Amino acid sequence: MGKRKRLVAEKRKEENKTSFFAKLNNCPTSPRKMRQVADLVRGKDAYLALNILKFNTREASGRLEKLLKSAIANYEAKSQTRAEEGTLFVKEVMVDSALMVKRLRTAPQGRGYRIRKRTNHVTLILDTKNI
């Protein structure tokens, strides 16, 4: 590894020590459906977002709820303090498209229709409110 690349990697590692996040890779939900649920909680208080996700009927909300709980646990582990109501909020939720599995569905007259089974990567970043 070159010197410049090592310096950039060390800088990124130092930033990760002070940021509280959780990642979900290759989630078998289409990115569009996940973004609709992510828009509900972006910028909200962490525990309010948990309640929103818990009572939402979409399948993607269950996966995002689990991810948010993981991010809160990461906050508690890194900062050695208990996450209290009103101190944490969802700073950023990024949903990126991931691997697309392509399948073929039979169609009339010897044709085949392509089916794309989409997946996504979700990154959830928490931050503390400065009071």
Percentage above 90 pLDDT, the chain = 82
Q: Which fold has domain 21-128?
A: Ribosomal Protein L22; Chain A (3.90.470)
Counting every residue written for the chain, the total comes to 131
Percentage above 70 pLDDT, the chain = 99
Q: Tokens 């109501």 belong to which residue?
A: 85
> Residue 6: which H helix or E strand, with range?
helix 3-18
pLDDT digits (tens, 9 = 90+) for 53-97: 999 999 999 999 999 999 999 999 988 888 887 789 999 999 999
- The residue type found at 31 is P
Q: Report the pLDDT value the prediction gives residue 86, as an integer from 0 to 100.
A: 77
